[in-house]
Amino acid sequence: MSAPQNLGQKRESQRNAILPFTKASACGNDFLLVEGAHASGDLAALTRRLCDRHRGVGADGVEWLFPDAEADVKARLINADGSEAEISGNGTRSVAAEICSRGGKTEVVVRTGAGLKACRLISQNGGRQGSTFEFEVDMGQPEVGGELSIETMWLRAVGTKVSMGNPHYVIFVENFQDGWQRQAALIGAQPQFPQGTNVEYVVVRGAHEIEIRLFERGVGETESSGTGSCASAVAAIASGRVASPVTVIAPGGSQTVRWENQVFLRGSATLVCRGEFYI
């Protein structure tokens, strides 16, 4: 009798070690969406394992989902390096896509570390590569700081501090220089940013268009960023370089930002796949 019992215990242990996930991509910014009830212990360590692109599933971060009394869902964002972030615009949109995929909703309210964010569904399309949802998200009021100069023996930069509920440092350039990633990493480590910062390099392309490159806190270079797109557009509008609405072009795709007291971000999110991770 002992052998079958042990086999049953082993199977039960294996079932308990399975972590269901959904993978989503928003303009190339990829996230894993995981119900918090399925995980316990050190979420930072588990997130690092999940986000490892060689030994895990691979992602820029994990949106851990929890019930919330005032919202459709609470999303706790942990970056690929295990650090926690207040919010991701693209991640929030990905969470909204997951909630909409469960049926029936045209507006999703997500509680983030930067407050409640309302995501209005614009369109939905299904295809062989997954279901794509387009949302306009109320990102709230930005905080625009003054121009900040950073100068060390290794770098010199002049940029604008912007908060979208998380910190950004926006640098306007004529073109994207080789090695900007190294400079961005150094900027994020400066004492002016005790919690670190996201760094955006911005080229103005027209009266309503900018192109950006992004180096995100806790991740590194990314193909896109929702809050980075907002911060870049806000800094460009505030300095008179462009007017709202602004098309923001990133390597992973384009998003639209309009600033009318509140900042509204429009873009897509695709549910790429669902799977199980063995923990």
- pLDDT 10s digits, 108-156: 999 999 999 999 999 999 866 679 999 999 999 999 998 999 998 888 9
Residue 14 has pLDDT above 50, yes or no: no
Q: Would you say the pTM of this structure is higher than 0.75?
A: yes
Q: Which structural domain, as residue segments, surrounds residue 183?
A: 143-260
Greatest alpha-carbon pair distance for the chain in Å reads: 79
Does 225 share its domain with 274? no
Mean pLDDT in the chain? 93
Tell me, what amino acid is at 150? I
DSSP string, 52-117: -TTTS---SEEEEEE--SSSSEEEEEEETTS-EES--HHHHHHHHHHHHHTSS-SEEEEEETTEEE
Determine contact, residues 84/77, Cβ cutoff 8 Å. yes
Q: How would residue 41 be classed by pLDDT, with cut points 50, 70 and 90? A: confident
5 located within any domain: no
Helix (H), strand (E) at residue 5:
helix 2-16
Q: How far apart are CA 258 and CA 246, in angstroms?
A: 6
Does 131 share its domain with 163? no
Given this model, what pLDDT does residue 153 score? 83
Cα Rg of the chain (Å, integer):
20
Does 149 share its domain with 132? no
Q: How far apart are CA 267 and CA 89, in angstroms?
A: 10
188 located within any domain: yes
7 located within any domain: no
Does 90 share its domain with 63? yes
Most confidently modeled range among 61-70, 125-134, 152-161: 61-70
Given this model, what pLDDT does residue 146 score? 87
CATH number of domain containing 156:
3.10.310.10
1 located within any domain: no
Does 104 share its domain with 151? no
245 cis-preceded (ω within 30 degrees of 0): yes
Does 272 share its domain with 255? no
Residue 1 has pLDDT above 60, yes or no: no
Does 225 share its domain with 149? yes
Q: How far apart are CA 3 and CA 45, in angstroms?
A: 34
Residue 34 has pLDDT above 50, yes or no: yes
Given this model, what pLDDT does residue 127 score? 66
pLDDT digits (tens, 9 = 90+) for 210-247: 999 999 999 999 999 999 999 999 999 999 999 999 99
Q: How far apart are CA 62 and CA 45, in angstroms?
A: 11
